[in-house]
């Protein structure tokens, strides 16, 4: 029994070391897992940088496009909108009470482009067509030949035409008037003082004043020859 027992225990002795290679084999698996984790982390991080760059690039492109579009729109538009033959204006002078039909027209004194002074109240005894415009106003330029055409007949009947030019100095107004042949009285209004007194919101604006100084009619926008003729007839022109 003792010999058999000794023999039976011999095979069981070497079996224990056999487990050691398994442990040694398991270690490389753990080591292999670490690079995989690092690779996964790298893959997670890598897209983030290009994504931010794309977002920034797209944002800059959108901003640049918006600026270019805005510049293009502004470059192809007038400084102030024109609607139905009326150019809007900005007033910088002290606002007056404004004109009122049936009452005396607001008085003013100003220098003309010829160097003389004109006082509206001193024109009493003559029907007066007071008009507000500007050389930079397209509807005003279009209307100028019709005003000039009506002037000869109106002047022959004792009438006067006085045009106030908004936001322009005397040299600019004179150059423009000489080019297009305007012969009636021209008053530069560089600081819109007169226009502000009359509360002008758009040009051309027209005021038809009777010989006694009473404002008979106000008209805004361009006037065709027929409307001009009818308006002047109301004040004896």
The larger pLDDT score, comparing residue 44 to residue 132, is at: 132
DSSP secondary structure letter of residue 216: E
Q: Which residues face 131 on adjacent strands?
A: 163, 206
Residue 235 has pLDDT above 50, yes or no: yes
Confidence of residue 48 (pLDDT cuts 50, 70, 90): low
One domain for residues 49 and 88? no
104 and 218 belong to one structural domain: yes
Query: For the domain that residue 190 is a member of, what is the CATH number?
Result: 3.40.30.10
Q: Say yes or no: 105 and 180 in one domain.
A: yes
Are 191 and 132 in the same domain?
yes
What number is the average pLDDT over the span 70-91?
A: 60
Same domain, 203 and 166: yes
Range of the domain at 20: 2-75
Give the whole-angstrom CA distance, residue 201 versus residue 14.
112
Domain endpoint, select from 57, 75, 93: 75
89, 200 Cβ separation under 8 angstroms: yes
> What's the mean pLDDT in 88-110?
96
107-137 burial, b for 16+ CB within 10 Å, e for fewer? ebebebbeeeebebeebbebbbbbbbbbbbb
pLDDT in tens, 100-147: 999 999 999 999 999 999 999 999 999 999 999 999 999 999 999 999
pLDDT of residue 21: 44
For 196-222, what is the mean pLDDT?
Answer: 97
Of the three residues 44, 75, 106, the one that is the final residue of a domain is 75
Query: Is there a single domain that holds both residue 34 and residue 63?
Result: yes
Count of structural domains, the chain = 2
Tell me which of 36, 52, 75 is where a domain ends: 75
Regarding whether 137 and 68 lie in a shared domain, the answer is no
Q: What is the pLDDT of residue 65?
A: 55
51, 97: one domain: no
């Amino acid at each position: 029994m003792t010999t058999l027992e000794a023999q039976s225990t011999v095979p069981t002795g070497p079996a224990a070391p056999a487990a050691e290679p398994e442990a040694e084999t398991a270690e490389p698996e753990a080591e292999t897992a670490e690079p995989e984790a690092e690779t996964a982390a790298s893959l997670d991080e890598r897209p983030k940088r290009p994504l931010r760059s794309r977002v920034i690039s797209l944002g800059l492109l959108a901003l640049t496009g918006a600026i270019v579009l805005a510049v293009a729109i502004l470059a192809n538009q007038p400084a102030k909108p024109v609607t139905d033959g009326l150019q809007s204006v900005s007033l910088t002078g002290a606002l007056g009470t404004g004109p009122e039909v049936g009452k005396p027209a607001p008085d003013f004194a100003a220098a003309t482009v010829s160097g003389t002074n004109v006082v509206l109240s001193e024109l009493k005894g003559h029907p007066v067509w007071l008009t507000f415009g500007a050389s930079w106003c397209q509807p005003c330029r279009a209307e100028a030949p019709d005003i000039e055409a009506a002037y000869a007949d109106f002047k022959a009947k004792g009438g006067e035409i006085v045009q106030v030019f908004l936001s322009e100095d005397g040299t600019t107004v004179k150059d423009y008037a000489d080019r297009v042949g305007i012969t009636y009285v021209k008053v530069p209004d560089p600081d819109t003082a007169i226009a502000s007194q009359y509360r002008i919101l758009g040009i051309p604006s027209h005021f038809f004043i009777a010989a006694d100084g009473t404002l008979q009619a106000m008209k805004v926008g361009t006037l065709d020859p027929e409307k001009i003729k009818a308006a002047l007839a109301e004040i004896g022109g």
